[in-house]
Amino acid sequence: MKTLPYSWYHDPAVFERELAMLGSQWHYAGHFDSPSGSYFPTEVSGAPVLVVAGKDSEIRAFYNVCRHRGSIICEAAITRDVIQCPYHAWVYELDGSLRAAPRSDREADFDRSELGLIEVSASRWGPFIFVNLDPNASSLEEHLGRLPQLVAAAGVDVSNLRLHKRVQADFEVNWKICAENFLECYHCPTAHPGFSRVIDVGPDDYRLEVDPWFSTQYGPVREKWSGPFDPRGEVERGQFHFVWPTTTINIMPGRPNISIGPIIPRGAQRTTRYLDYLFTPDAEEEWISEALAFDWQVGLEDAELVARVQRGVASGILREGVLMPESEQLIAHFDSLLRAAVGVATGE
């Protein structure tokens, strides 16, 4: 089984095609604890987006661009009963409609009703907000499928989680390399020794599943685990989900937890990732610190791996690589979705 052509990991023309495609997909945008009357900026497929929780607690999203002269409106999370552009003080309601524009009463035929913020699709799963630039997108519920049920069955009630912190990192690699690295644990015995002392990554125990729009890795705790991270608790095994096309979700064994975040394409060879880490209010700080340190170490190891892959695929030495059909079946699923989404035949 062949990989994607290696040119796809550094060709700017391919990247532009992918970026256009990504706008019509669902992406994780952020998290709301107390949503009423608050908003925050995010980015989807290179476009600035503003996610807003109205006074009615309805989640909406708009392009984060003022209708007057195109200024970015909001650059940090805020709680306020209106949205005001910092350039000329145009004021929008939380539903996106234009409330006021200074001196507009002096202009003939100024129609506020035609100058509201441009809406994009937004939806939520518990406290998690997803955004899609396509206003006619299929529902988030359809896209997630049975994923919420799998998370609940793992012992995680997402409505009971609280945001602990966000961790962000930048990589000089193509976004697909980050995604494909997440989608297999074939590398874990070699590259993640600490992780592999806690999680059984053997091919007979580390289970993989494919659903239409997401994929799952199940990692049981080793019978004789060792290391600085204590995996004992209500969550009996790790679950690692990838929601097409960019959202990663990690549930570690132990106390109820989730880390969730997007892989954000920045260029043909530039990517940003962030993870929102959430725990229950009663989780012990010591356990949280151990879990974060454990995950941070895995992240450092992955950063080296993806950098090596980027250098190799961009070298021009090989046209493509090969996939292990059993161990890397989730990559094959990702690649097939990508080919279909950008309109490329499977054989190319």
Who's near 235: CB < 8 A, 6+ residues apart? 154, 155, 156, 251, 252, 253, 254, 255, 256, 257
Closest CA to 206 of 110, 326, 100: 326
Buried residues in 154-188 as b, exposed as e (16+ CB within 10 A): bbbebeebeebeebeeebebbbbbbbbbbbbbbeb
- The hierarchical CATH code for the domain 27-136 is 2.102.10.10
Q: What are the structure tokens assigned to 310, written together? A: 């980027």
Residue 24: band (very low, low, confident or very high) from pLDDT cuts 50, 70, 90? very high
pLDDT tens digits along 226-273: 988 899 999 999 999 999 999 999 999 999 999 999 999 999 999 999
Whether the CB-CB separation of 15 and 176 falls below 8 Å is answered with no
Average pLDDT, integer, range 25-50: 91
Instruction: Confirm whether pTM is higher than 0.85.
Output: yes
More confident residue, 291 or 347: 291
> What does residue 166 show for φ and ψ, rounded to 5 degrees?
-115, 135
- The percentage of residues in the chain with a pLDDT greater than 90, rounded to a whole number, is 93
Terminal CA-CA length for the chain:
13
Domains 1-26+145-348 and 27-136 fall in the same CATH topology: no
Q: Does the structure show a pLDDT above 90 at 327?
A: yes
Determine the 3-state secondary structure of 265 from DSSP: strand
Q: Which residues sit opposite 251 in a β-bridge?
A: 239
Show the beta-strand stretches assigned E in 90-194. Answer: 91-92, 98-100, 119-125, 128-132, 162-171
Q: What mean pLDDT is reported for the chain?
A: 95
Return the number of other C-beta atoms located less than 10 Å from residue 1's C-beta: 12
E strand residue ranges, the chain: 27-31, 38-44, 47-53, 59-63, 78-79, 83-84, 91-92, 98-100, 119-125, 128-132, 162-171, 207-210, 214-220, 237-243, 247-251, 257-267, 270-279
**Sequence spans of domains, the chain:** 1-26+145-348, 27-136
Q: pLDDT at residue 123 above 70? A: yes
CATH number of 1-26+145-348: 3.90.380.10
Say how many C-beta atoms besides its own lie within 10 A of residue 232's C-beta: 12
The owner of tokens 């959430």 is 278
The residue-averaged pLDDT of 274-291 equals 97
Rounded CA-CA distance 124/6 in Å is 35
- Rounded to an integer, the average pLDDT of 75-93 is 96
- 18-54 burial, b if ≥16 CB within 10 A, otherwise e? bbebbbebbbbbbbbeebebbbbbbbbbebbbbbbbb
Q: How far apart are CA 27 and CA 22, in angstroms?
A: 9
pLDDT at 347: 42
Question: How many CB atoms within 10 Å of residue 256?
Answer: 22
Lowest mean pLDDT among 52-66, 186-200, 288-302: 52-66
pLDDT value at position 345? 45
Q: Looking at the predicted structure, is the pLDDT value of residue 198 above 90?
A: yes
Separation CA 265–CA 176 (nearest Å)? 9
Please tell me the predicted confidence (pLDDT) of residue 55. 83
Confidence band for 166, pLDDT divided at 50, 70 and 90: very high
Q: What are phi and psi of 110, to 5 degrees?
A: -80, 115
Residue 35 or residue 115, greater confidence: 115
What is the rounded CA–CA span in Å between residue 167 and residue 177? 19
Q: What is the pLDDT of residues 35-45, one digit of tens each?
A: 678 999 999 99
pLDDT of residue 346: 40
Q: pLDDT per residue over 261-270, tens digit each?
A: 999 999 999 9
Of residues 284 and 135, the one with the higher pLDDT is: 284
